[in-house]
Amino acid sequence: MINQDELIKELDFRAVKSSGPGGQHVNKTASKVELYFDIASSTVLTDIQKERLLTTFSTRITKDHVLILQNGNSRSQHKNKNAAINQFLEMIKAGTKAPKVRKKTKPSKMAKLKRLRAKKIQAEKKQNRKNPLK
């Protein structure tokens, strides 16, 4: 299990001006929060977990292996920061899960019988189409 407190300590935050409706308030305050997490230099994650994150979130990661998240849904910088942290923790939890191992299964006897019956019917159809004189 990953220690969330240690993971949060490795995060960098930047507050930037948000876009969208809000008039003068949105033009004056930096309420949008950008979260930066350097996957390569993380001490909390194992190498296997880092590899899983790099493959899972390859579209959200820069060339320097930095994961960037943005949140500007609220007018409050604190709410945006907490929302970004929660989103980050959920992503890490989902991204570091080990993939399920596929169990090999055999087709049932009934499925085999149905397939063979369908093949036989199809073969008979084609046989009936042949010209009997040739």
pLDDT tens digits along 48-103: 999 999 999 889 899 999 999 999 888 888 999 999 999 999 999 998 888 889 99
Give the integer Cα–Cα distance in Å for 133 and 35.
Answer: 80
Range of the domain at 22: 4-95
Statement: residue 18 has pLDDT above 90? no
Task: Please name every residue paired with 61 in a beta bridge, in sequence order, or none if there are none.
Answer: 67
Its pTM surpasses 0.75: no
Q: At what angle do helices 47-56 and 77-95 cross, to 10 degrees?
A: 110
Largest pairwise CA distance in the chain: 92
In a domain, 15, yes or no: yes
In a domain, 132, yes or no: no
How confident is the model at residue 80, as a pLDDT? Answer: 93
Q: For the chain, what is the mean pLDDT?
A: 90
pLDDT exceeding 70 applies to what percent of the chain? 99
In a domain, 89, yes or no: yes
pLDDT exceeding 90 applies to what percent of the chain? 59
At 100, the amino acid letter reads K
In a domain, 109, yes or no: no
CATH number for 22 = 3.30.160.20
Give yes or no for a contact between 67 and 59, defined as CB atoms under 8 angstroms apart: no
In a domain, 119, yes or no: no
How confident is the model at residue 89, as a pLDDT? Answer: 93
